């Protein structure tokens, strides 16, 4: 799997976004919904997801947050001189969000659509004691499910107003095969040309519109363990 940027920046990036989210919610007083909308459209987050060093590790999290808030047309509050030793659920939300984005290379706007900050913060108990990989898998499962409703064979069939049985009858493709394609248990990319073309013609779309594969995370990295997270004093 190709990650969003070099792993050498990952821990700094997670800490930076954790601090940024904590500042925006706890100091600036934004609501999770407001910050979700701002982050989804922020130029700085586009730079962050590409691993631009100035953003992921070249500034403190509160500095990043102030830049994002200012560019959103708001007046940022001043940074605190000192911060509490314990980390907040808000910090954890930014920490794990950065990890998920690095793992899957999706844009923050795509991730926040299925995992907004209020949902992430609400997942603090009990997931803050689990590995980042576990949380990443939960988010990607949500993203895959959301995409399955908008893309691929199932979405095209529903848009055409056909049942699986009707599609099988009209296309000549076996019902069981259609069911397996929609469940991603069979790869439509490996179907015969005649079957794929028959489905596309029946649904009045291109073959490419029917081919969608969910993201499958590959755990080839060495994520920060729950023990390591605790060593960074995230409050429990």
Output the pLDDT for position 219: 66
Q: Tell me the backbone φ, ψ of residue 101, rounded to 5 degrees.
A: -65, -40
Per-residue pLDDT tens for 84-113?
667 899 999 999 999 999 999 999 999 999
Tokens standing for residue 183: 């469940």
List the one residue out of 142, 148, 121, 103 whose CA is nearest residue 36.
121
Collapse the DSSP code of 119 into the 3-class scheme (helix H, G, I; strand E, B; otherwise coil) and give the result.
Answer: helix
Judge residue 231's burial from the number of C-beta atoms within 10 Å of its C-beta, 0-12 exposed, 13-18 middle, 19 or more buried: exposed
Q: Where are the domains of the chain?
A: 7-146+224-231, 152-210
**Which of 19-28, 131-140, 216-225 has the least mean pLDDT?**
216-225
**Range with the poorest average pLDDT among 55-64, 175-184, 201-210, 225-234:** 225-234
- The pTM of the full predicted model, rounded to 2 decimals, is 0.80
pLDDT tens digits, one per residue of 4-58:
899 999 999 999 999 999 999 999 999 999 999 999 999 999 999 999 999 999 9
Residues 52, 21, 28, 108, Cα dihedral to 10°: 60
Topology (CATH) of 152-210 = 434 Repressor (Amino-terminal Domain) (1.10.260)
Instruction: Compute the distance between CA of residue 20 and CA of residue 105 in angstroms, rounded to an integer.
Output: 20
**pLDDT the model gives residue 234:** 44
Tell me which of 221 and 98 has the higher pLDDT.
98
Mean pLDDT of 121-129: 94
List of long-range contacts for 31-34, beta carbons under 8 Å, 24+ apart? 31/118, 32/116, 32/117, 32/118, 32/121, 33/116, 33/117, 33/118
Instruction: State the average pLDDT over residues 108-122.
Output: 97
pLDDT band for position 149 (cuts 50, 70, 90): confident
The confidence band for 227, taking pLDDT boundaries of 50, 70 and 90, is very low
Contacts of 221 (CB under 8 A, 6+ apart): 3, 7, 10, 103
């Amino acid at each position: 799997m190709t990650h969003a940027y070099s792993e050498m920046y990952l821990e700094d990036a997670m800490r930076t976004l954790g601090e940024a989210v904590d500042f925006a919610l706890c100091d600036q007083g934004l609501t999770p919904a407001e910050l979700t909308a701002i982050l989804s459209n922020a130029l700085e987050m586009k730079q962050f997801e590409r691993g631009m060093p100035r953003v992921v590790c070249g500034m403190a999290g509160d500095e990043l947050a102030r830049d994002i808030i200012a560019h959103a047309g708001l007046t940022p509050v001043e940074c605190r001189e000192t911060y509490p030793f314990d980390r907040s659920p808000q910090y954890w939300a930014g920490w794990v969000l950065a990890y998920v984005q690095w793992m899957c290379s999706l844009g923050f706007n795509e991730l926040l659509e299925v995992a907004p900050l209020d949902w992430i913060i609400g997942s603090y108990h009990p997931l803050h004691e689990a590995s980042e990989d576990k949380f990443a898998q939960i988010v990607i499962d949500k993203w895959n499910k959301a995409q399955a409703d908008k893309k691929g064979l199932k979405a095209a069939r529903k848009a055409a107003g056909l049942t699986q049985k009707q599609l099988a009858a009209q296309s000549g493709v076996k019902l069981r095969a259609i069911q397996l394609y929609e469940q991603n248990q069979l790869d439509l990319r490996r179907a015969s040309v005649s079957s794929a073309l028959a489905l596309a013609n029946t649904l009045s779309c291109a073959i490419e519109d029917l081919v969608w594969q969910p993201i499958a995370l590959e755990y080839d990295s060495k994520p920060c363990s729950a023990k390591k997270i605790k060593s960074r004093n995230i409050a429990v």
